Structure formats: C-alpha cells, structure tokens
C-alpha cells in the first residue's frame, strides 16, 4: 500500500512531525512518500493520504488547505487522516485539542478518518515581527515523538483493516472446511 504524507509548514516544525509519521508508517511496511503539500499535483497511485498543517492565528497552513480543496474528489475516495501542529505548551500532550473550525469543515468535505493536534515548535530566533515577539516568551518544542509515533501506529492498524478485502478475509478464514 502506497501512502502520501504531506504537510504545510512555515518554519519546519510541522515538516518534522510529518517526517516522524512517514518513518513510523514505513517501519510498518508501507511505501511512503513525504512531500510538501504545495508540490503535489496528483494523488493518483496513493491508497491513503495524511495531511498536516501548522496553525497560525487559528488557521491551518495555506498549503494544507489548498491541497485538500484542490483534491477533494480524489481524497473522498481514499482514507485520509489530518493533523494540526500548534500549541506552544503542554495542552496537546494531556488533552485532545479539537480541530479548528476551518479544519473541521475540510474534514467533513472529504470524509476524513480522523484528526489530531500535536504540540508545536517555535525557535528562539524565529523570524518575523509577531513570531519573534512571541518567541521571547513562548519559544520551545512541544512536539512529543512518542505521541506522534503512537498516532501513526494507530493509523497503520486502521490501514491494515482497509487492506483486508473480502477475498483476503476469505483466505484468512477457511470456513469451507
Ligand atoms: C504568529 C504565530 C501565530 C500562531 N498561532 C497559533 C494558533 O493560532 N494556534 C496554535 O495552536 N498555535 C499557533 N502558533 C504556534 C505554531 O502553530 C507552532 O509554532 C507550529 O509548530 C509552527 O509550525 P511550523 O514550524 O511548521 O510553521 C502560532 C505561532 C506563530 C509564530
């Protein structure tokens, strides 16, 4: 099964999360492509898709948004999981942080399998007027690789279930004996 893991990331933090997800899925035997969402022209050939976006001012990164809008029809026909990366504290470690409204709408549009919000990262030397001001008090890395891997493992289990077609199921269960 070939899986596309793509992301919209401004400062690299979300790309790092996507990388952990891609590696976890690859270790489970899936063929995985990891790409920036803005570069994807087609999802043909992928049987499942993971899309991640950084949160800025309660909005999902534009590249992730555009990717979902551009490929709505194709995504509706595949299992798709979304993730957001944002909180610069431990709120996403201990609580389920619901998707922002915009992401909720996109999930409904494509019939997504699920969504998770992971903690974010802001480097102390972040560039940009607002980001550098925020960094003076909020810089830190709240991405927890164990939580990211655990989520990807759950997805891998779900995908194995998708893989099991009725014909395979029949092979697994020799009810004719
Ligand atoms: C200007 C600015 C606005 C942000 N707005 C939000 C927000 O609305 N919600 C949130 O959870 N995180 C917010 N964050 C935190 C980022 O989502 C976090 O740093 C994320 O990991 C950035 O991902 P990236 O490195 O892939 O761009 C904001 C960060 C900055 C610098």
Taking CA atoms only, the protein residue closest to ligand 1 atom 21 is 120
Q: What is the CATH number of domain 2-172?
A: 3.40.50.360
pLDDT above 90 covers a percentage of the chain that reads 90
pLDDT range class, residue 165, cuts 50, 70, 90: low
pLDDT range class, residue 170, cuts 50, 70, 90: very low
Ligand 1 centre from 97 Cα, in Å? 14
Every domain of the chain and the residues it spans:
2-172
Ligand 1 centre from 61 Cα, in Å? 9
Q: What is the pLDDT of residues 11-22, one digit of tens each?
A: 999 999 999 999
Ligand 1 centre from 163 Cα, in Å? 35
pLDDT for 174 beyond 50? no
Which tokens hold the place of 117? 């919000």
Q: How far apart are CA 140 and CA 106, in angstroms?
A: 29
């Amino acid at each position: 099964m070939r899986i596309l893991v793509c992301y919209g990331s401004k400062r690299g933090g979300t790309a790092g999360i996507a990388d952990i997800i891609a590696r976890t899925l690859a270790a489970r035997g899936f063929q995985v492509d990891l790409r920036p969402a803005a570069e994807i022209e087609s999802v043909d050939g992928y049987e499942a898709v993971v899309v991640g976006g950084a949160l800025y001012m309660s909005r999902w990164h534009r590249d992730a948004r555009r990717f979902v809008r551009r490929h709505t029809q194709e995504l509706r026909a595949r299992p798709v999981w979304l993730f957001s990366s944002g909180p610069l504290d431990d709120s996403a470690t201990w609580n389920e942080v619901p998707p922002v409204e915009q992401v909720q709408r996109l999930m409904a549009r494509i019939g997504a399998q699920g969504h998770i919000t992971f903690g974010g990262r802001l480097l102390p030397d972040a560039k940009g007027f607002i980001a550098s001001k925020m960094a003076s008090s909020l810089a830190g890395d709240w991405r927890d690789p164990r939580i990211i891997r655990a989520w990807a493992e759950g997805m891998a289990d779900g995908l194995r279930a998708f893989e099991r077609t009725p014909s395979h199921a029949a092979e697994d269960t020799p009810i004719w004996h």
